């Protein structure tokens, strides 16, 4: 089935002109790429510029125009193909995001505006309804500095390994680990109310968690 075909197969079919194969690739990668772009570009981008959707769309267009040739060694190995193509797409997306950010910065500089600081709220998450968990988690993520957010998103949602993330972001593996550690700590603090339903800080909260 087209939906189950490996990335390499789909790329080949796309090269042969099968639009559906391309669509499957888009579907397969759009979510992680959007998250990635979102994590890099930051939340609620105001003042024009391109949003994550635009960036991801452009990344896919690049894929359509010049599909990357996957290394011969991962031919037929779906996981390896996936890793290869994923890395390529994430890298392209990230570069596009960086271009966007640079353009934004230039524009903002020209407009004499300071880059908007992420407004850090008090983190009071009491009373957050269960259905708002998603929004709360997203908000907490958004509050993180961009570099932490990006690696966390890539690791937690994109399921990239540290080394893959290092490749995509151009950092050392150790740095990735450190960014994740810091980011996760901040997230834990931020999301404590959601984790245990009570303020964090005591061992019994952790104990309850363990139970």
Partner 1 sequence: MEDNHDMQELSAEDALHAALCALALGELAGDEAAALEARVAAEPELGAQYAEARATIALVRTSLAGGDALPPEHMERLLEGARQQAQPTPILHLAWYRQPAVRLAASLVLLAGAGFVGLRLVDQGQRAADDSSARLLERSSNAGAAVAGVPAHEPADELAVDPAEVKASRAELEPLMEAAARDAYVRRLTAGEIRQNGQPKYVDPDAETVAVDGFVDHSASPTSEPVPAPDASALAALGYASDAVTEREQVLAQRALGDVTNGHEEVAALGLNLGEAQGESKNAAGVPNARFFFEAGELAAAPKAGEETHFAGVVTSTGRSGPSSPGPGGAPARRVAPSAPSTPNAGSAPNPPVPPGAPRPAQAPPTSTTPLGGGGGAGGVLAGPQPSDSRSQAAPEALAPEQPLAAPAPVREERLRKRSAVTAASEPRDAVSDELALGRVGASREAAPATDRGRGKQAKDEGPDEMTRAIGGFSPGSPLPRLSDEQLELMVDQEWARFHRDCQLRPNERPRDMYFRFWGDNAFVATAQDAQSTFGADVDTASYALARRYLREGQRPERAQIRTEEFVNAFTPDLVPPSEETFALSLELAPTPFGEDANHWLLRVGVRGKEVAKDQREPLNLTFVVDTSGSMREGDRLELVKHAMRLLVTQLDARDTIAIVAYSNEARQVLGATSAARRDLIESAIQPLSPNGSTNAEAGLRMGYAMAETMLASGTYNRVVFLSDGVANMGQTDQDRINGDVKRFRDAGIYLNTIGVGMNNHNDAFLEQLANKGDGICDYVDDAKAAQKAIVERFTGAFVPIASDVKLQVEFDPAQVLRWRQLGYENRAIADRDFRNDKVDAGEVGAGHQVTCLYEVELAPDLSKQDLRRALATLRVRWKAPKQARQDVNEVDVFERETALDYGLAAGSFQAASLGFRRAALAAEFAEVLRRSSHARFDSYAALVSELGALMDASSRGGEQKVIEELVELADLVRRADALGFGRAVPVTNLERTIDEYRRFQYLRATLEELERDQDPLLQQIEDTNRTLEQQIRDALMRDLRERHG
Q: Which residues bind partner 1 (CB under 8 A)?
A: 1-3, 5, 13-14, 16-24, 26-27, 30-32, 34-35, 38, 53-54, 56-57, 60-61, 64-65, 133-134, 136-138, 141, 145, 147, 152, 155-157, 161-162, 171-172, 174-175, 177-182, 184-185, 187-188, 191, 194-195, 200, 203, 205-207, 209-210
Contacts of 133 (CB under 8 A, 6+ apart): 194
End-to-end C-alpha distance for the chain, whole angstroms: 43
The answer to whether 188 and 195 have CB atoms below 8 angstroms apart is yes
Name which of 88 and 162 has its Cβ closer to partner 1.
Answer: 162
Provide the minimum distance between the beta carbon of 170 and partner 1 in the complex, in angstroms, as a whole number: 9
Contacts of 81 (CB under 8 A, 6+ apart): 6, 7, 8, 70, 74, 75
Query: In which residue are the tokens 């600081």 written?
Result: 117
Name which of 74 and 144 has its Cβ closer to partner 1.
Answer: 144
Q: Which two tokens stand for residue 64?
A: 């359509």
Provide the minimum distance between the beta carbon of 12 and partner 1 in the complex, in angstroms, as a whole number: 10
Name which of 27 and 71 has its Cβ closer to partner 1.
Answer: 27
Half-sphere exposure of 96 (CA within 13 A, CB side): 25
Name which of 54 and 77 has its Cβ closer to partner 1.
Answer: 54
Provide the minimum distance between the beta carbon of 106 and partner 1 in the complex, in angstroms, as a whole number: 19
């Amino acid at each position: 089935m087209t939906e189950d075909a490996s990335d390499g197969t789909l790329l080949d079919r796309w090269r042969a002109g099968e639009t559906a194969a391309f669509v499957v690739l888009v579907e397969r990668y759009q979510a992680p790429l959007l998250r990635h772009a979102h994590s890099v570009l930051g939340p609620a981008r105001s003042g024009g510029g391109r949003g994550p959707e635009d960036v991801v769309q452009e990344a896919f267009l690049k894929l359509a125009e010049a599909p990357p040739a996957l290394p011969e060694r991962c031919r037929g190995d779906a996981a390896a193909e996936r890793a290869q193509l994923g890395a390529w797409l994430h890298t392209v997306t990230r570069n596009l995001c960086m271009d966007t950010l640079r353009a934004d910065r230039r524009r903002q500089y020209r407009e004499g505006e300071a880059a908007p600081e992420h407004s850090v709220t008090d983190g009071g998450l009491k009373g957050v309804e269960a259905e708002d968990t998603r929004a709360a988690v997203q908000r907490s993520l958004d509050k993180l500095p961009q570099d932490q957010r990006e690696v966390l998103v890539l690791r937690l949602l994109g399921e990239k390994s540290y080394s893959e993330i290092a490749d995509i972001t151009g950092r050392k593996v150790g740095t990735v680990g450190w960014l994740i550690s810091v980011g996760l700590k901040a997230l834990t603090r931020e999301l404590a109310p959601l984790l245990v339903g009570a303020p964090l800080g005591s061992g019994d909260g952790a104990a309850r968690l363990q139970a």
